[in-house]
């Protein structure tokens, strides 16, 4: 499903720009944003099962507008010994052991997602990926815990930094709930489809693109001081705040 794929059409009076600040690397200080949503069997990333994950990578189009790129989506098998909270399963409607889900292990799902992300990072010359999510601490925690359980040492994501669309929506749109933020941004949102990792990732991607592109269209990007360095984020900046 495509959205924001022709963002330039919304701003026909703006000229194409190809300098460094209008690349993905330049726009986010060397970070490679990836929109993530997870569905789980509880709130504890260490003990509760990860059941579904979707990830959307992003890119800049020829005119410097942020657009979706590639999507990854997996139903996930509960890890051995995982806790399955009844209330959480009733909320999401997921039957973890339904064979029709086509679920894969955490390791298989994350290996494929990380592989695609590293490829995108290389193509965009970015030093580290960063999770974009709605209430991002939750999704970040589950991704990191699953990667640790799977023994994946080449985790491309920053260990603690995120872009939280709940906070960004509160600033830009006056709303923090995903459905209401989308409504404010005139992005269609079907509550019957919500709480599917794929659907929520698609909507969150569209929302993030909307906020970033709107800030640009209002003159907020590039920054007022174009000589400021915005492209030299080190690849190993785990300790930076």
Residues in binding site for Mg(2+) = 37, 39, 195, 200
Measured between alpha carbons, how far is 190 from 202 in angstroms, rounded to an integer? 12
Q: How far is it between the farthest Cα atoms of the chain?
A: 57
Nearest residue to 139 (alpha-carbon basis) of 72, 237, 40:
40
Chain Cα centroid distance, residue 102: 23
Residues in the chain: 241
Which two structure tokens, joined as six digits, stand for 74? 């997996």
Q: 195 an active-site residue?
A: yes
Which two structure tokens, joined as six digits, stand for 81? 């010994």
Q: Are 157 and 30 in contact (CB under 8 A)?
A: no
Measured between alpha carbons, how far is 237 from 233 in angstroms, rounded to an integer? 7
**Catalytic residue selected from 75, 195, 210, 225:** 195
Active-site amino acid positions: 195
């Amino acid at each position: 499903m495509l959205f924001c794929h022709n963002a330039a059409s919304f701003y026909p009076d703006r000229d194409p720009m190809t300098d460094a600040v209008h690349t993905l690397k330049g726009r986010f200080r060397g970070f490679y944003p990836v929109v993530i949503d997870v569905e789980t069997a509880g709130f504890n990333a260490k003990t509760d099962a990860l059941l579904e994950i979707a990830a959307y990578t992003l890119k800049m189009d020829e005119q410097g507008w942020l657009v979706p790129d590639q999507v990854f989506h997996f139903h996930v098998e509960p890890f051995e010994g995982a806790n399955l909270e009844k209330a959480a399963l009733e909320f999401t409607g997921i039957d973890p052991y339904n064979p029709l889900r086509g679920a894969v292990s955490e390791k298989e799902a994350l290996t494929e997602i990380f592989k695609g992300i590293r490829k995108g990072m290389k193509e965009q010359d970015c030093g580290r990926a960063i999770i974009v999510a709605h209430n991002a601490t939750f999704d970040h925690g589950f991704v990191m815990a699953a990667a640790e359980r799977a023994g994946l040492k080449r985790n491309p994501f920053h260990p603690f930094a995120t872009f939280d669309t709940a906070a960004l929506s509160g600033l830009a749109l006056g709303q923090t709930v995903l459905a209401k933020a989308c409504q404010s941004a005139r992005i269609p949102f079907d509550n019957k489809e919500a709480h599917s990792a794929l659907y929520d990732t698609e909507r969150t991607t569209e929302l993030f693109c909307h906020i970033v592109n709107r800030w640009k269209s209002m003159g907020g990007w590039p920054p007022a001081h174009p000589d400021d360095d915005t492209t030299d984020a080190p690849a190993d900046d785990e300790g930076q705040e």
